[in-house]
Structure 1
Amino acid sequence: MFELTRYDGRRRIRGSLYLSVGLSLLAAMVIWVYPSFQAEVDLDQLLAAYPEPILQVMGVQTMASLGGFLAFELYTFGWIILLGLYLAYSTAGTIADDVDRGRMDVLLAMPLSRTRLVGERFAAMVVPIVVANLLPPIVVYVGAELIDESLSAADVLAVHLLSIPYLFACAGIGLVASVAVDRAGIAQRVALGVTFALFLSESLLSGTDAEAVGAIAPMRYYDPNEVLLEGTYDLAGAGILAAMTVVLLVASQLWFRRRDIG
């Protein structure tokens, strides 16, 4: 059992390690530039110069502290946008690529239900999601200590742990695209477009009469600012993201069961 999960998971280990190292280098660079940035620039005045819609889209609250600087420069950009888009894109190829390349008939000839096939392929995404969050929190905490800035170890750990259900929800979006479209390239572009559109809708509609529309966006339920600036952990939001992932997974399984594989 879980043969496909183990196979796919092993194939993703090397790329996931590279991803973790790359994100760690990004974290180290952000922390390294913070002291000089803080010394030379009035950060609050800089924020005041930005148009309000841009601050709203990027979720910027303050850059006058290392926590606020990291929430904006690292976690909003690196985790919510880049990593979220990457997981949606990567997952969108899990099913569609086999259909596109004509390998799906071979897989379905095995004693393996379509529901299980989709579930095991999706379960393999635990590798990039977890591995990507292994090294960066260590780099962030140690880097903060090296520049004599105070960051709570619990908050640093929490901002990464709470990103895991968010990233699974983004992967779930990619999975739906993967079972809906036969061509892997198209599925991946659809996943990218939908995920980024959800990010924009949540950011731009917040505080408006249409704010309720943003409730379907995973980004609403993961806020690095709350963790790093306020020490607040949104466990209810994490639960909503977990439920959202389950709904997307089940919907993908049901859709794939009823599909005709050409």
Structure 2
Amino acid sequence: MGRRRNGRILRFFTGYHARDMGDMLNAGLLRRAYLETRWTTLVFGVCVLLISTLLHFALPRFQKNLEAFQLPAARLTNLNNIRNAMLGADVSNAGGREIAAGVAWSHPFFLALIFAQVITVCTRVPAAELDRGTMDVLLGLPVSRSQLYFSETAVCVATSAVVVGLAVAGSRIGNTMAPLGMAPDLPPVLIIAVNLLLLNVAVGAFAMGCSAVLGRRMHAVAAVLIVVVGSLLINYLRLLWEPARHIAFLSILDYYRPIIPLRDGQWPWKDMAVLGGTSLALWVAAGAWFFRRDLSTT
């Protein structure tokens, strides 16, 4: 009884019976997606590695030098406000090494590279295929839409994990050259990496949804960028402008605050649960639209 109910639920969302989805991944589709995304992932991954190394090398030195000076109270207040806006949290009770590492993991340029990779990869199917007029060829292969969707999902998650892993590697390389006592411990860094991966997966799921609904890659990328940039603005304004605090929960960056694991050493379970649940909901909705939509280019 329960199995039949689950089958009806699955068919309602996807238009397919459970028996049609036995082989969710297809080796040929995985290889195709890997070949199409390897250079994109490599280029963005190397850029993330380099910028992460640079940030974790330079910011601890800057923080160390800053602590050696006695800044006027007004200037120190302005500096703390800038840090609070970038980190999305109050840093008055955080140490120097936590602040430096938190700024590095929250730097806009660093996040832009992370998001650019997942947006590029996750808007390929079906939007890029429709733009090229090759969607009919792809769907004409002896594969199902479910295999295509699950294979693309696997590649999106895997490439995101690779880029986040390179970010961790860059942080550790930069920390080896940081001043004594300014490098954070590894466990908080790994917590941040998992949180960042969930954030990236949420952006990727939204990108897949935009790709399926809008059908044109430029439109899909623009829609994702609007949401990401809006989240950045809300995150920076929330501690500086009172009205922004009331809508801070709408920002995806409200659920990614590296300073908290660095300062407290605790897992942000609530934030990660929100990101995970949002990712799943967006992914299911995107899949339902992808399975049911007419994707013919002729």
Q: Give the TM interval when normalised to the shorter protein.
A: 0.7 to 0.9
Report the CA distance between 1:99 and its aligned residue: 0.9
Asked if the contact 1:202/1:217 (under 8 Å) is kept, the reply is: yes
CA–CA distance in structure 2, aligned partners of residues 31 and 256 of structure 1: 41
The aligned amino acid for 1:255 is W
> SS where residue 165 of structure 2 aligns?
coil
The aligned amino acid for 1:130 is A
- Residue of 77, 83, 95 corresponding to 1:48: 77
Superposed, which structure 2 residues align to 1:220-239 within 5 Å?
A: 220-239=254-273
> SS where residue 187 of structure 2 aligns?
helix
- Residue of 240, 248, 253 corresponding to 2:274: 240
Report the CA distance between 1:188 and its aligned residue: 1.3
More off after superposition, 139-148 vs 42-51: 42-51
Pair 47,114 (structure 1): closer, same or farther in 2 beyond 3 Å: farther
The aligned amino acid for 2:161 is V
CA–CA distance in structure 2, aligned partners of residues 5 and 201 of structure 1: 37
The aligned amino acid for 1:19 is F
Report the CA distance between 1:135 and its aligned residue: 3.1
CA–CA distance in structure 1, aligned partners of residues 238 and 283 of structure 2: 27
> SS where residue 124 of structure 1 aligns?
helix
Pair 80,35 (structure 1): closer, same or farther in 2 beyond 3 Å: closer
Other-structure match for 1:30: 55
Share of identical aligned residues, percent? 21
Superposed, which structure 2 residues align to 1:3-22 within 5 Å?
A: 3-22=28-47
Pair 84,112 (structure 1): closer, same or farther in 2 beyond 3 Å: same
Asked if the contact 1:175/1:252 (under 8 Å) is kept, the reply is: yes
The aligned amino acid for 2:270 is A
Superposed, which structure 2 residues align to 1:1-262 within 5 Å?
A: 1-2=25-26, 3-34=28-59, 36-41=61-66, 45=71, 48-50=77-79, 52=81, 55-56=84-85, 59=88, 61-62=90-91, 65-147=96-178, 148=180, 149-205=182-238, 211=245, 213-261=247-295, 262=297
Pair 182,227 (structure 1): closer, same or farther in 2 beyond 3 Å: same
Asked if the contact 2:57/2:177 (under 8 Å) is kept, the reply is: no
The aligned amino acid for 2:223 is V
Larger radius of gyration: 2
Q: Deviations over 1:40-82 (max 9, x none)?
A: 4358955522595884355364496132122113434255444
TM-score normalised by structure 2 residue count: 0.74
> SS where residue 103 of structure 2 aligns?
helix
The aligned amino acid for 1:174 is A
Pair 240,138 (structure 1): closer, same or farther in 2 beyond 3 Å: same
CA–CA distance in structure 2, aligned partners of residues 150 and 58 of structure 1: 18
Calculate the aligned-residue CA RMSD, in Å: 3.0
Q: Deviations over 1:16-43 (max 9, x none)?
A: 2332322222122223323542354358
> SS where residue 125 of structure 1 aligns?
helix
Asked if the contact 1:119/1:249 (under 8 Å) is kept, the reply is: no
Pair 72,38 (structure 1): closer, same or farther in 2 beyond 3 Å: closer
Q: Number of matched residues?
A: 262
Pair 135,209 (structure 1): closer, same or farther in 2 beyond 3 Å: closer
Asked if the contact 1:92/1:191 (under 8 Å) is kept, the reply is: no
> SS where residue 238 of structure 1 aligns?
helix
The aligned amino acid for 2:294 is D
More off after superposition, 198-207 vs 148-157: 198-207
Pair 27,18 (structure 1): closer, same or farther in 2 beyond 3 Å: same
Report the CA distance between 1:234 and its aligned residue: 0.8
Pair 210,189 (structure 1): closer, same or farther in 2 beyond 3 Å: closer
Q: Give unmatched runs, 5+ long, in structure 2.
A: 1-24
The aligned amino acid for 1:8 is A
TM-score normalised by structure 1 residue count: 0.83
Pair 90,10 (structure 1): closer, same or farther in 2 beyond 3 Å: closer
Asked if the contact 1:89/1:192 (under 8 Å) is kept, the reply is: no
The aligned amino acid for 1:195 is V
